[in-house]
Amino acid sequence: MYLFHTRENYKVYHGKQWSCLNIWLILCLFPRTCVSNPSKPNFLLILADDLGIGDLGCYGNDTIRNVRIHGKFISKESRTPNIDGLAKEGVRLTQHIAAAAVCTPSRASFLTGRYPIRSGMASSTQRQILFWNGCSGGLPPNETTFARILHQQGYSTALVGKWHMGVNCKTRRDHCHHPLNHGFDYFYGMPFTLVNECQGTDDPELAKSLQDTYWLHTQMIILAVFTLVFGKLANLFPVKWKIIICLAICGLLHFLSWFSSYGFTKYWNCILMRNHDITEQPMNLDKTTPKMLKEAIMFIERNKHRPFLLFVSLLHVHTPLITTVKFQGRSRHGLYGDNVEEMDWMVGRLLEVIDKESLKNTTFIYFASDHGGSLEAHRGNSQLGGWNGIYKGGKGMGGWEGGIRVPGIVRWPGVLPAGTVIDEPTSLMDIYPTVVHLAGGSVPQDRVIDGHTLLPLLSGAVQHSGHEFMFHYCGVFLHAVRWHQKESGNIWKAHYATPVFQPETSGACFRRGICPCFGDDVTHHDPPLLFNLSQDPSEGNPLSADAEPLFGTVMRRIGKAVEEHHKTLSPVPQQLSPYNNIWKPWLQPCCGMFPFCWCHEENNKEDSIV
């Protein structure tokens, strides 16, 4: 063992070979000092559910909240102080765009860095999201999430919260779509999503969007089966029994799905899992928030000495707005506002732990929402969905800004300049290559990745984002295209189709839970509706070919980009097809003997995993 008493000695001994790496290795001999490798930051990615861009103080919401000081209420603070603080210490993106305006496809694109249509996670039917834990659709096992690459790079990876990317393919426990099969080492949360049914309110969310189609299909199939059986027995037409039996099974499944959507959703969909095990079926909503927070915090504490990736996929602020008693009735915006304040508090708790463990400068923190706030969510007169600020439309509307423009905040002190605001178009898909590169990995070369690494833009090394065109899908239907014309700095957006608002004034689609993407419920535009978002971010004044001299040029350029984009798409299995998105009893995750599925985690099993 050599000890270096003076600077000279050590220089002589090591000469030029003395490098950061050696310092790093020596520091690592002492575990306390061996914090994460600076070139391999930790990642804390926080994704809110259904949060509108206009809900946050740092995006212009001026609602203040009541703060109690010395027993007196004073109103001073923004109601989202923790998220605002992140923006103050980091970079705030003002044109951060989700690849879809509903959960399942938007989250698929976030995890894979690819438009959801590439992984088969975009729907060609009215059902744009997965409807069951017990359906066979989900994120295909051959998609590579950033979690998988980080796991390969030696990261400890976890998902706490909502998944909504499917569970099983063929059997009840194959877990082919499960987070643990997609690169996460640890999972605690909901394999599905919060829906009103979880709370047992009288306002069923899933049943409402299912009942008409399921019941109609069931009736049609029963009629067809009876006709065929009659025809076969009476020798009227030759049909194989095989076909009749297949059809009958199909009818039975449809009937079961319809039947299950009444009253059983809570047992089938509202469950909590830890890794491969169900811990609560149905879940106890009162305890979910503190439990999730505890899981996230414990994960950080368990992994503070090694690089980690923690994806906190919040259940907030999706209906039914589970809010703990402490936050009920606190805000100026009713049930929804309370939930927003609680979400901000949760973010604050996570930041506290990062600070406390001295991980602040070595942790890349990202906060965003999966898509815009829901205009349709309300009970009576009170709005239960998010506020999309000056932007038109909301959740479910793949083209309008309100559905896809979301908050996007990144903080990494010492690397990213504090208090920066970037107006360039960026995408949730950009997180994929950004995270992968920073972790020392490389993105898959055998497929198209649509995201662009954000680091040069965030750190100020370049002025423009990598996105010249962005394609705004509603299901598999291309509704709009955005063009960032770099020479002029203009952002153009052309809409080929827009949802029909009912009524137009409220900006909401009342027809179904979520705006449809095709059929009678959308208006097709030829020529397309063109907006200059740089001047008209609210998309209030479509430009006409007569008034806008560049109309033809812009439309031709966008048309060409669409053509080129189409060439990069290839057919893949449809994960949201009717067959893949129907309830299959044999795929239903169940903690007991199916169909007797209920269980509760009584004792504090959590402690055993520390």
Minimal distance in Å, beta carbon 58 to ligand NAG? 12
Q: Which residue's CB is nearer to ligand NAG, number 40 or number 287?
A: 40
The DSSP H or E segment spanning 273 is strand 272-274
Distances (CA, A) of 39 to 95, 170, 233, 289, 460: 28, 41, 74, 33, 18
Q: Environment class of residue 488 by beta-carbon count within 10 Å: exposed (0-12), middle (13-18) or buried (19+)?
A: exposed
Minimal distance in Å, beta carbon 595 to ligand NAG? 31
Number of C-beta neighbours around residue 39 at 10 A: 11
Minimal distance in Å, beta carbon 444 to ligand NAG? 7
Instruction: Using the Cα atoms of residue 317, residue 320, residue 326 and residue 329 in order, give the sign of their dihedral.
Output: positive
Task: Please state whether beta strands 382-383 and 72-78 pair in parallel, antiparallel, or not at all (unpaired).
Answer: unpaired
Q: Which residue's CB is nearer to ligand NAG, number 206 or number 317?
A: 317
Distances (CA, A) of 65 to 83, 338, 346: 14, 10, 16
Q: Can you say how many angstroms the Cα of residue 150 is from the centroid of all Cα atoms in its chain?
A: 19
SS3 574: coil
SS3 556: helix
Q: Whole-angstrom Cα distance, residue 184 to residue 308? A: 11
User: Are 353 and 341 contacting, i.e. CB atoms less than 8 angstroms apart?
Assistant: no
Residue 12: half-sphere exposure toward Cβ, Cα within 13 Å: 8
Instruction: Using the Cα atoms of residue 469, residue 475, residue 477 and residue 479 in order, give the sign of their dihedral.
Output: negative
Q: Can you say how many angstroms the Cα of residue 231 is from the centroid of all Cα atoms in its chain?
A: 50
Minimal distance in Å, beta carbon 229 to ligand NAG? 36
Minimal distance in Å, beta carbon 55 to ligand NAG? 5
Minimal distance in Å, beta carbon 418 to ligand NAG? 8
Which residues are catalytically annotated? Answer: 103, 164
Minimal distance in Å, beta carbon 142 to ligand NAG? 4
Strand residue runs (E) in 81-131: 91-97
Residues 6+ apart with CB under 8 A from 64: 75, 76, 77, 78, 79, 332
The DSSP H or E segment spanning 435 is helix 431-438
Structure tokens at 604: 């504090």
Minimal distance in Å, beta carbon 193 to ligand NAG? 20
Binding site for ligand NAG (CB under 6 A): 54-55, 61-63, 140, 142-143, 333, 336-337, 340, 361, 387, 389, 413-414, 447, 572-573
Q: Whole-angstrom Cα distance, residue 108 to residue 568? A: 18
Residues 6+ apart with CB under 8 A from 541: 531
Q: Whole-angstrom Cα distance, residue 280 to residue 270? A: 9
Max Cα–Cα distance, the chain, nearest Å: 104
Minimal distance in Å, beta carbon 279 to ligand NAG? 31
| In the complex, residue closest to ligand NAG by CB | 414
